[in-house]
Amino acid sequence: MRLKDKVAIITGAASGFGEGMAKRFAEEGAKVVVADLNAKGTERVAAEIGASAIAVTTDVSLQSEFDLMVEAAMAAFGRIDIMVNNAGYTHRNGDMLAVEEDIFDLITAVNMKAIYHAARAVVPIMEAQGGGVILTTASTAGLRPRPGLTWYNASKGWAITATKSMAVELAPKNIRVNCLCPVAGETGMLAQFMGEDTPELRAKFRASIPLGRLSTPLDIANAALWLASDEAAFITGVALEVDGGRCI
């Protein structure tokens, strides 16, 4: 029970990596706030977890909704120990000049500005409690970018830099800040990352990963669990590659 009595907020938790984290954290004793824009998805995941989870419908691009989510967490569980910024958005793989401005703005709002909203909402609470953990789902795209996802890649590079700077600034408050860099996996955004989802494209992508497969929600959840736990008490400012060797 590595997260016994800990309270975790996980955004983008209605599916994919976030759902995997929510369920894995709960298995290890955490109370979980399942947050997502997808109301039905949050309710399903929270119901599958049981009494140790609540569902909150949240648009992470808005500070007002982030604040309401934090208020719901505090009302239900009385504290916040772990903040996981997992919600993400991307444009379809293709010409960077073909990405419309509204899509670009949504990428920056969800992948970048939401981290700012999270910090403003939870850092004062964590400081008053004596510490905490902030964890962001970045991407291998922020470390080893490739053509076709330029603006998404850039947003994840921003998230990695923000993680490192936050880690240094928040260390005196005993708040650890890390991020995960997954390779693409079995999530709802896979078709966007590849341009389209075909057996041929999947095979081509798998061939670029030394361990020979895409990531799974459990792969990412296990890495997140370790970084969020006291086992990683001396780990901060890390961009952990969970990629089967893709970034080598």
Full-model pTM: 0.95
pLDDT of residue 76: 98
Average pLDDT over residues 228-247: 97
pLDDT of residue 221: 98
- pLDDT for residue 211 is more than 80: yes
pLDDT of residue 160: 98
- pLDDT for residue 19 is more than 90: yes
pLDDT of residue 200: 84
- pLDDT for residue 185 is more than 90: no
- pLDDT for residue 192 is more than 90: no
- pLDDT for residue 79 is more than 80: yes
Average pLDDT over residues 62-82: 97
pLDDT of residue 121: 97
> Does residue 62 sit in helix, strand or coil?
coil
pLDDT of residue 170: 98
Give the catalytic positions in this structure.
152
- pLDDT for residue 231 is more than 90: yes
- pLDDT, the chain, mean: 95
- pLDDT for residue 133 is more than 80: yes
Q: How confident is the model at residue 34 (pLDDT cuts 50, 70, 90)?
A: very high
d(CA 41, CA 58): 12
d(CA 43, CA 53): 10
Q: How confident is the model at residue 110 (pLDDT cuts 50, 70, 90)?
A: very high
How far is C-alpha 131 from the geometric centre of its chain's CA atoms?
20
- pLDDT for residue 89 is more than 90: yes
pLDDT of residue 205: 82
In order, the DSSP letters of 20-41 are HHHHHHHHTT-EEEEEES-HHH
d(CA 13, CA 125): 22
Q: Which one-letter DSSP state was computed for residue 210?
A: T
Sheet (strand 175-182) strand order: 53-57, 31-36, 7-11, 82-85, 132-137, 175-182, 239-242
Residues 6+ apart with CB under 8 A from 217: 16, 17, 19, 20, 21, 185, 186, 187
Average pLDDT over residues 83-106: 95
